[in-house]
A and B are shown apart, each in its own frame.
Chain A
Amino acid sequence: MTGTRTYALAAAAIAAIAAVLVAASVASGTAPKRHVTPKVSGTISIISEATGPEQEHFKNVLADFEKLNPDVEVKYTSAGRNLTTILSTAVAGGNPPDMALLPQPGFMRELVKKKALKPIEFLRPTIKKNWSAGWVALGSVGGKLYGLYLKGANKSTIWYNVKLFKKAGVKTPKTFNALLKAAKTLKASGTKAYSIGGGDGWTLTDLFENIYLRQAGGSNYDKLSAHKIKWTSPTVKAALQQMAKIFSDDSNIAGGTSGALSTVFADSVTQAFGNNPKAAMVLEADFVEGVITGSTNAKPKTDFNYFPWPAIKPGTLNNVVAGGDAVVMFRDKPATRALMKYFATPRAANVYAKQGGFSSPNKLVKGSAYHDPIARRAALALSHAKVVRFDMSDLQPAAFGGTPGQGMWKLLQDLLKNPKNVNQIASQLESAAAKAYSGGK
Chain B
Amino acid sequence: MSGASVSAEPPLREAPPPDVPAGESRWRRWLIAAAFLAPAVILLGIWVVYPAIRTIIRSFFNAAGDHFVWFANFEELFTTDLLLTAIKNNALWVAIVPLFVTSIGLIFAVLTERVRWSVAFKTVVFMPMAISLLAAGVIWRLMYIQDPNQGTVNAAIAAVKGVVEPEGALPTAEPSSPQLVGNPGSTLTLKTPLDPGQVAVLGLSAIPDADVPEGAKQAVKPPAKPDGITGVVWRDFKPGGGKIGKVEKGELGLPGVTLELKDSSGKQIATATSAADGTFAFERLAQGSYTVAISGDTFAQPFAGVDWLGDQLITPAIMIAYIWVWAGFAMVVIAAGLAAIPRDVLEAARTDGASEWQTFIRVTVPLLAPILSVVFITLVINVLKVFDIVLSVAPSSSQDDANVIALAMWRVSFSGQNDFGVGSAIATFLFLLVLPVLALNIRRFRREV
Measuring CB to CB, which residues of chain A are less than 8 angstroms from any residue of chain B?
Answer: 82, 84-85, 88-89, 92, 166-170, 185, 187-191, 198-201, 251, 255-256, 258-259, 261-262, 398-399, 403-406, 410, 413, 440-441
A168 touches B239 (CB 8 A): yes
Q: What's the least CB distance linking A180 to chain B, in Å?
A: 14
A255 touches B397 (CB 8 A): no
Report the separation of the CA atoms of residues A189 and B176 in the bound assembly, to the nearest whole angstrom. 10
B416 touches A398 (CB 8 A): yes
Do A169 and B239 contact each other (CB < 8 Å), given the known contacts A190-B172, A405-B396, A405-B400?
yes
**Segment at the interface with A among B41-49, B206-214, B276-284, B435-443:** B206-214
Chain A residues with CB under 8 Å of B416's CB are 84-85, 88-89, 398-399, 403, 406
**Which 8 A-B residue pairs are closest in the complex by CB-CB distance?**
A169-B239, A169-B240, A190-B208, A188-B205, A85-B416, A92-B418, A85-B415, A261-B397
Kindly state whether residue B71 has any CB partner on chain A within 8 Å: no
5 A-B pairs besides A190-B209, A258-B146 with CB distance below 8 A are A85-B416, A190-B206, A190-B207, A190-B211, A201-B396
Q: Which residue from chain B places its CB closest to the CB of A84 in the assembled complex?
A: B416
The interface on chain B, measured as residues whose beta carbon lies within 8 A of the other chain's beta carbons, has a size of 34
Chain A residues with CB under 8 Å of B415's CB are 82, 85, 89
Q: Which residue from chain B places its CB closest to the CB of A82 in the assembled complex?
A: B415
Report the separation of the CA atoms of residues A144 and B144 in the bound assembly, to the nearest whole angstrom. 50
Kindly state whether residue B241 has any CB partner on chain A within 8 Å: yes
Q: What's the least CB distance linking B64 to chain A, in Å?
A: 10
Q: What's the least CB distance linking A193 to chain B, in Å?
A: 11
Kindly state whether residue B263 has any CB partner on chain A within 8 Å: no
Q: Which of A188, A198, A262, A441 contacts B237 (CB 8 A)?
A: A188
B209 touches A262 (CB 8 A): no
**Segment at the interface with A among B53-61, B117-125, B285-293, B302-310:** B302-310
Q: Which residue from chain A places its CB closest to the CB of B397 in the assembled complex?
A: A261
Do A88 and B418 contact each other (CB < 8 Å), given the known contacts A170-B240, A188-B241, A441-B63?
yes
Chain A residues with CB under 8 Å of B29's CB are none
Chain B residues with CB under 8 Å of A191's CB are 208
A262 touches B63 (CB 8 A): no
- Interchain residue pairs with CB less than 8 A apart (7): A89-B416, A189-B205, A199-B397, A200-B396, A255-B146, A258-B307, A406-B416
Of residues 194 through 214 on chain B, the ones whose CB sits less than 8 Å from some CB of chain A are 205-209, 211
Kindly state whether residue B414 has any CB partner on chain A within 8 Å: yes
Chain B residues with CB under 8 Å of A190's CB are 172, 205-209, 211, 237
Q: What's the least CB distance linking A121 to chain B, in Å?
A: 29
Q: What's the least CB distance linking B247 to chain A, in Å?
A: 15
Q: Which residue from chain B places its CB closest to the CB of A200 in the assembled complex?
A: B396
Q: Which residue from chain A places its CB closest to the CB of B308 in the assembled complex?
A: A262
Q: What's the least CB distance linking B401 to chain A, in Å?
A: 11
B304 touches A256 (CB 8 A): yes
Q: What's the least CB distance linking A211 to chain B, in Å?
A: 22
Q: What's the least CB distance linking A106 to chain B, in Å?
A: 13
Q: Which residue from chain B places its CB closest to the CB of A166 in the assembled complex?
A: B239
B146 touches A188 (CB 8 A): no
Of residues 312 through 364 on chain B, the ones whose CB sits less than 8 Å from some CB of chain A are none
Q: What's the least CB distance linking B214 to chain A, in Å?
A: 16
Measuring CB to CB, which residues of chain B are less than 8 angstroms from any residue of chain A?
Answer: 62-63, 146-147, 172, 174, 176, 184, 205-209, 211, 237-241, 304, 307, 309-310, 395-397, 399-400, 414-419
Chain A residues with CB under 8 Å of B207's CB are 190
B206 touches A187 (CB 8 A): yes
* A contact face: mostly helix, strand, loop, or mixed: helix
What's the count of A-B pairs with C-beta under 8 Å?
89
Chain A residues with CB under 8 Å of B176's CB are 188
Q: What's the least CB distance linking A89 to chain B, in Å?
A: 5
Report the separation of the CA atoms of residues A405 and B395 in the bound assembly, to the nearest whole angstrom. 10
Q: What's the least CB distance linking B97 to chain A, in Å?
A: 24
Chain B residues with CB under 8 Å of A256's CB are 304
Q: Which residue from chain B places its CB closest to the CB of A260 in the assembled complex?
A: B397
Q: Which of A168, A187, A198, A251 contacts B397 (CB 8 A)?
A: A198
Report the separation of the CA atoms of residues A403 and B417 in the bound assembly, to the nearest whole angstrom. 10
Q: What's the least CB distance linking B83 to chain A, in Å?
A: 14
Q: Which of A82, A167, A258 contacts B239 (CB 8 A)?
A: A167
Report the separation of the CA atoms of residues A439 and B176 in the bound assembly, to the nearest whole angstrom. 54
Q: Which of A84, A92, A189, A262 contacts B309 (CB 8 A)?
A: A262
Chain A residues with CB under 8 Å of B399's CB are 405
Report the separation of the CA atoms of residues A228 and B238 in the bound assembly, to the nearest whole angstrom. 49
Q: Which of A185, A199, A258, A441 contacts B240 (CB 8 A)?
A: A185
Q: What's the least CB distance linking A210 to chain B, in Å?
A: 22
Report the separation of the CA atoms of residues A200 and B396 in the bound assembly, to the nearest whole angstrom. 8
Q: What's the least CB distance linking B302 to chain A, in Å?
A: 12
B147 touches A259 (CB 8 A): yes
Residue of B239, B307, B310, B419 with highest tally of chain A CB at under 10 A: B239
Q: Which residue from chain A places its CB closest to the CB of B400 in the assembled complex?
A: A405
Residue of A167, A170, A189, A258 with highest tally of chain B CB at under 10 A: A189
A441 touches B419 (CB 8 A): yes
Q: Which residue from chain A places its CB closest to the CB of B415 in the assembled complex?
A: A85
Report the separation of the CA atoms of residues A167 and B208 in the bound assembly, to the nearest whole angstrom. 10
Chain B residues with CB under 8 Å of A398's CB are 416
Chain B residues with CB under 8 Å of A169's CB are 238-241
Residue of B62, B209, B237, B419 with highest tally of chain A CB at under 10 A: B237
Chain B residues with CB under 8 Å of A261's CB are 310, 395, 397
Q: Which residue from chain B places its CB closest to the CB of A263 in the assembled complex?
A: B395
Report the separation of the CA atoms of residues A251 and B240 in the bound assembly, to the nearest whole angstrom. 20
Q: What's the least CB distance linking A163 to chain B, in Å?
A: 11
Q: What's the least CB distance linking B237 to chain A, in Å?
A: 5
Do A262 and B397 contact each other (CB < 8 Å), given the known contacts A88-B418, A89-B414, A167-B239?
yes
Chain B residues with CB under 8 Å of A399's CB are 416-417
Chain B residues with CB under 8 Å of A199's CB are 395-397
Q: Which residue from chain A places its CB closest to the CB of B63 in the assembled complex?
A: A441
A185 touches B310 (CB 8 A): no
Q: What's the least CB distance linking B174 to chain A, in Å?
A: 8
Report the separation of the CA atoms of residues A393 and B395 in the bound assembly, to the nearest whole angstrom. 22
Q: Which residue from chain B places its CB closest to the CB of A190 in the assembled complex?
A: B208
Report the separation of the CA atoms of residues A54 and B172 in the bound assembly, to the nearest whole angstrom. 36
Report the separation of the CA atoms of residues A256 and B415 in the bound assembly, to the nearest whole angstrom. 30
Report the separation of the CA atoms of residues A92 and B211 in the bound assembly, to the nearest whole angstrom. 57
Report the separation of the CA atoms of residues A421 and B240 in the bound assembly, to the nearest whole angstrom. 34
